[in-house]
Amino acid sequence: MSARRALRRRVPARKATYRDVLEAPAHMVAEIVKGVLHTQPRPASRHALAGSSLGDELVSPFQKGRGGPGGWWIVDEPELHFGEDILVPDLAGWRRERMPDYPDTPWFTLAPDWVCEILSPSTRTFDLEEKRPVYAREGVGHLWFVDPAARTLEAFALQDGAWTAAGSAREDEPVSFPPFQAVTFPLDALWP
Protein backbone atom coordinates (compact mmCIF):
# COMPACT_ATOMS: atom_id res chain seq x y z
CA MET A 1 0.00 0.00 0.00
CA SER A 2 1.42 3.37 -0.95
CA ALA A 3 2.05 6.03 1.69
CA ARG A 4 -0.35 8.32 -0.13
CA ARG A 5 -3.16 5.78 0.03
CA ALA A 6 -2.44 5.04 3.71
CA LEU A 7 -2.47 8.77 4.49
CA ARG A 8 -5.82 9.14 2.79
CA ARG A 9 -7.33 6.53 5.09
CA ARG A 10 -5.92 8.07 8.28
CA VAL A 11 -7.21 11.57 7.56
CA PRO A 12 -10.85 11.75 8.64
CA ALA A 13 -13.17 13.12 6.00
CA ARG A 14 -15.23 16.11 7.06
CA LYS A 15 -17.77 18.24 5.36
CA ALA A 16 -16.78 21.79 4.58
CA THR A 17 -18.56 24.45 6.62
CA TYR A 18 -19.16 28.18 6.42
CA ARG A 19 -16.02 28.60 8.53
CA ASP A 20 -14.06 27.24 5.53
CA VAL A 21 -15.69 29.85 3.29
CA LEU A 22 -14.80 32.62 5.73
CA GLU A 23 -11.20 31.40 6.03
CA ALA A 24 -10.63 31.21 2.26
CA PRO A 25 -8.09 33.75 0.96
CA ALA A 26 -9.66 37.11 0.10
CA HIS A 27 -8.62 36.81 -3.57
CA MET A 28 -10.62 33.57 -3.98
CA VAL A 29 -14.32 32.87 -4.45
CA ALA A 30 -15.27 30.07 -2.03
CA GLU A 31 -18.33 27.87 -2.50
CA ILE A 32 -19.54 24.59 -0.99
CA VAL A 33 -21.44 21.91 -2.90
CA LYS A 34 -22.18 18.47 -1.43
CA GLY A 35 -19.93 19.21 1.54
CA VAL A 36 -16.88 19.99 -0.63
CA LEU A 37 -15.16 23.39 -0.58
CA HIS A 38 -14.46 24.77 -4.05
CA THR A 39 -12.24 27.83 -4.45
CA GLN A 40 -11.29 29.71 -7.58
CA PRO A 41 -9.60 33.02 -8.26
CA ARG A 42 -11.69 36.14 -8.76
CA PRO A 43 -12.86 36.42 -12.38
CA ALA A 44 -10.39 37.38 -15.10
CA SER A 45 -10.93 40.53 -17.14
CA ARG A 46 -13.15 39.16 -19.97
CA HIS A 47 -15.27 37.23 -17.48
CA ALA A 48 -15.68 40.34 -15.31
CA LEU A 49 -16.53 42.54 -18.30
CA ALA A 50 -19.19 40.10 -19.56
CA GLY A 51 -20.82 39.99 -16.11
CA SER A 52 -20.68 43.76 -15.62
CA SER A 53 -22.03 44.41 -19.11
CA LEU A 54 -24.88 41.95 -18.69
CA GLY A 55 -25.78 43.61 -15.40
CA ASP A 56 -25.75 46.96 -17.19
CA GLU A 57 -28.17 45.64 -19.82
CA LEU A 58 -30.59 44.29 -17.18
CA VAL A 59 -30.48 46.65 -14.18
CA SER A 60 -31.95 49.76 -15.84
CA PRO A 61 -35.00 48.11 -17.43
CA PHE A 62 -35.68 45.40 -14.86
CA GLN A 63 -34.48 46.78 -11.54
CA LYS A 64 -34.97 50.51 -12.08
CA GLY A 65 -37.83 50.34 -14.58
CA ARG A 66 -36.05 52.57 -17.13
CA GLY A 67 -37.08 51.38 -20.58
CA GLY A 68 -38.51 48.18 -19.15
CA PRO A 69 -41.04 46.76 -16.73
CA GLY A 70 -39.02 46.95 -13.50
CA GLY A 71 -39.98 44.55 -10.73
CA TRP A 72 -36.62 42.85 -10.12
CA TRP A 73 -33.57 42.95 -7.87
CA ILE A 74 -30.44 42.16 -9.96
CA VAL A 75 -27.31 41.43 -7.90
CA ASP A 76 -23.65 40.74 -8.74
CA GLU A 77 -22.09 37.75 -6.95
CA PRO A 78 -24.66 37.22 -4.20
CA GLU A 79 -23.85 34.55 -1.64
CA LEU A 80 -26.63 31.97 -1.64
CA HIS A 81 -27.14 29.58 1.28
CA PHE A 82 -29.17 26.48 0.45
CA GLY A 83 -28.87 24.20 3.46
CA GLU A 84 -25.24 23.04 3.51
CA ASP A 85 -24.60 24.28 -0.05
CA ILE A 86 -23.17 27.78 -0.47
CA LEU A 87 -23.05 29.17 -4.01
CA VAL A 88 -21.89 32.47 -5.48
CA PRO A 89 -23.33 32.94 -8.98
CA ASP A 90 -21.97 35.72 -11.17
CA LEU A 91 -25.41 37.39 -11.29
CA ALA A 92 -28.79 36.60 -9.80
CA GLY A 93 -32.21 38.17 -9.85
CA TRP A 94 -35.29 38.05 -7.66
CA ARG A 95 -38.77 39.16 -8.69
CA ARG A 96 -39.93 41.81 -6.24
CA GLU A 97 -43.25 40.03 -5.89
CA ARG A 98 -41.29 37.21 -4.18
CA MET A 99 -38.79 39.45 -2.38
CA PRO A 100 -40.54 42.83 -1.97
CA ASP A 101 -37.96 44.28 0.42
CA TYR A 102 -34.26 44.06 -0.31
CA PRO A 103 -32.69 42.35 2.73
CA ASP A 104 -29.82 43.74 4.80
CA THR A 105 -28.10 40.39 5.31
CA PRO A 106 -24.70 38.87 4.48
CA TRP A 107 -26.30 36.15 2.32
CA PHE A 108 -29.56 35.09 0.72
CA THR A 109 -31.57 31.99 1.64
CA LEU A 110 -34.43 32.64 -0.78
CA ALA A 111 -33.59 31.05 -4.13
CA PRO A 112 -33.33 33.56 -6.98
CA ASP A 113 -35.76 33.50 -9.90
CA TRP A 114 -32.84 33.82 -12.33
CA VAL A 115 -29.14 33.00 -12.17
CA CYS A 116 -26.36 33.68 -14.67
CA GLU A 117 -23.00 31.96 -14.62
CA ILE A 118 -20.17 33.37 -16.73
CA LEU A 119 -18.18 30.35 -17.90
CA SER A 120 -14.42 30.34 -17.76
CA PRO A 121 -11.95 27.49 -18.25
CA SER A 122 -11.41 27.12 -14.51
CA THR A 123 -15.13 27.14 -13.54
CA ARG A 124 -16.90 25.59 -16.55
CA THR A 125 -17.18 22.05 -15.21
CA PHE A 126 -18.13 23.21 -11.71
CA ASP A 127 -20.81 25.59 -13.05
CA LEU A 128 -22.30 23.05 -15.46
CA GLU A 129 -22.04 19.83 -13.47
CA GLU A 130 -22.09 20.79 -9.78
CA LYS A 131 -23.98 24.07 -9.49
CA ARG A 132 -26.65 23.54 -12.17
CA PRO A 133 -28.32 20.63 -10.29
CA VAL A 134 -28.38 22.66 -7.06
CA TYR A 135 -30.15 25.52 -8.85
CA ALA A 136 -32.74 23.04 -10.16
CA ARG A 137 -33.20 21.46 -6.74
CA GLU A 138 -33.79 24.90 -5.20
CA GLY A 139 -36.34 25.87 -7.86
CA VAL A 140 -34.42 28.66 -9.63
CA GLY A 141 -36.73 29.29 -12.60
CA HIS A 142 -34.19 30.51 -15.18
CA LEU A 143 -30.50 29.83 -15.72
CA TRP A 144 -28.22 31.52 -18.23
CA PHE A 145 -24.67 30.54 -19.18
CA VAL A 146 -22.50 33.18 -20.85
CA ASP A 147 -19.25 32.03 -22.45
CA PRO A 148 -16.94 34.99 -23.26
CA ALA A 149 -14.42 32.77 -25.11
CA ALA A 150 -17.05 31.25 -27.42
CA ARG A 151 -19.11 34.48 -27.43
CA THR A 152 -22.32 32.64 -26.63
CA LEU A 153 -25.27 32.80 -24.27
CA GLU A 154 -27.48 29.80 -23.51
CA ALA A 155 -30.73 30.28 -21.62
CA PHE A 156 -32.62 27.54 -19.79
CA ALA A 157 -35.97 27.36 -18.00
CA LEU A 158 -36.80 24.93 -15.21
CA GLN A 159 -39.77 22.75 -16.14
CA ASP A 160 -40.86 19.84 -13.96
CA GLY A 161 -37.49 19.87 -12.20
CA ALA A 162 -35.43 19.68 -15.39
CA TRP A 163 -33.65 22.31 -17.46
CA THR A 164 -35.06 22.93 -20.93
CA ALA A 165 -33.52 25.15 -23.59
CA ALA A 166 -35.13 28.62 -23.70
CA GLY A 167 -32.85 30.27 -26.26
CA SER A 168 -29.31 30.78 -27.41
CA ALA A 169 -27.31 33.52 -29.08
CA ARG A 170 -23.79 33.93 -30.38
CA GLU A 171 -21.51 36.77 -31.44
CA ASP A 172 -23.79 39.82 -32.05
CA GLU A 173 -27.18 38.10 -32.23
CA PRO A 174 -30.08 39.67 -30.32
CA VAL A 175 -30.79 38.49 -26.78
CA SER A 176 -34.42 38.46 -25.65
CA PHE A 177 -34.88 35.36 -23.49
CA PRO A 178 -37.04 34.51 -20.50
CA PRO A 179 -37.36 35.91 -17.95
CA PHE A 180 -36.07 39.13 -19.55
CA GLN A 181 -37.76 38.96 -22.96
CA ALA A 182 -39.31 42.43 -22.48
CA VAL A 183 -36.08 43.99 -23.78
CA THR A 184 -33.60 43.08 -26.50
CA PHE A 185 -29.88 43.79 -26.60
CA PRO A 186 -27.08 42.55 -28.89
CA LEU A 187 -24.93 39.82 -27.36
CA ASP A 188 -21.77 41.61 -28.46
CA ALA A 189 -22.56 44.29 -25.85
CA LEU A 190 -20.88 41.82 -23.47
CA TRP A 191 -17.56 41.55 -25.34
CA PRO A 192 -14.65 44.01 -25.61
CA 30 – CA 39 distance, rounded (Å): 4
Q: For residue 6, is it within any domain? A: no
DSSP code per residue over 22-91? HHS-TTEEEEEETTEEEEEEPPPHHHHHHHHHHHHHHIIIIIS-SSS---EEEEES--EEETTEEE--SE
Neighbours of 5 (CB within 10 A): 8
pTM: 0.91
Q: For residue 34, is it within any domain? A: no
Q: For residue 16, is it within any domain? A: no
Name the band, by pLDDT with cuts 50, 70 and 90, for residue 5. Answer: very low
CA 17 – CA 84 distance, rounded (Å): 8
Q: Nearest to residue 30, comparing CAs of 72, 79, 68?
A: 79
Q: Which domain range does residue 123 map to?
A: 43-78+89-190
Q: For residue 30, is it within any domain? A: no
- Residues 80-114 have pLDDT tens digits of 999 999 999 999 999 999 999 999 999 999 999 99
Q: Would you say the C-alpha torsion 175, 179, 180, 181 has a positive or negative sign?
A: positive
The mean pLDDT value of the chain amounts to 92
Q: For residue 111, is it within any domain? A: yes
- Residues 39-55 have pLDDT tens digits of 999 889 999 999 999 99
Q: For residue 18, is it within any domain? A: no
Domain of 49, CATH number, reads: 3.90.1570.10
Q: What's the structural domain count of the chain?
A: 1
